[in-house]
Each structure stands twice: as structure tokens, then as C-alpha cells.
Amino acid sequence: GIMAVLMLTFCAATEGGEAMYFIWVCHLFFCVGGVFSIFPKAIADSFGPKHISENYGLFLSTEFIPTHLINALLTQFLLTHLKWYGLFLLNGGFLIVSFFISLFYQQKQYFKA
């Protein structure tokens, strides 16, 4: 939620000068760091603590490679049409969609406690 708002308003940060831009970038990276602190716990809760390192490594590799590949291709083909502001809006839209998907996620326990 917060990252989507920051991404959607990122181009407006330049209107506030260098200090506002710095604050926006710091907040964006703060949100990115949250992923690395939240997901190990979520994966352990979903799949059990026995193979957490393998499951988390698989998650990182399957999340990292396609995401960056898709972002690189979208940027390459859409930058001339949408410009940077349009790409920030597109990325913010993806974040909003993922936020609503996460609201309806029902965690399943695949292990015996």
C-alpha cells in the first residue's frame, strides 16, 4: 500500500527539490527492505521451518529473475510511449493489484505443528 502511493507520486517529489526527492527515495528503499524481513516468516508459516532455507532460496530465485526480466522488457518497449512518469504509474498500478491480491490470500498450513 505505502509503496504504491510512493511510486504513484514519485514524479511529484521532484517538485519539492532535492530534499523531497531524497526523502521519497529513502521511503521507497525502506519498503523494499520490508520484503526481505517479512517473507522468511511468511514462508516458514506456510511451508514449515524444516526446509526454510531451500524454500526461501527458491522463492527469491523465482521472484527475482522473472520480475527483473519483465521490468527490463517493459521499460525497453514502453519507455518511448509512456515516458518515465507513465512507467511509474504502471508500476504503481501493479503494486495496487498485488496489494489487493494479498488481502484475499488465505494461508494454508502444509505441515504439522
Range from 20-24, 44-48, 81-85 that averages highest in pLDDT? 20-24
State the average pLDDT for the chain.
84
The DSSP letter of residue 111 is S
pLDDT of residue 113: 54
Neighbouring residues of 91: CB distance < 8 A, sequence distance ≥ 6 = 7, 71
Higher pLDDT, 62 or 55: 55
The percent of residues in the chain predicted with pLDDT above 70, rounded, is 95
* Cβ atoms of residues 38 and 9 within 8 Å: no
Confidence check: pLDDT of 35 > 80: no
Alpha carbons 28 and 58: distance in angstroms, whole number: 25
* One-letter amino acid of 20: M
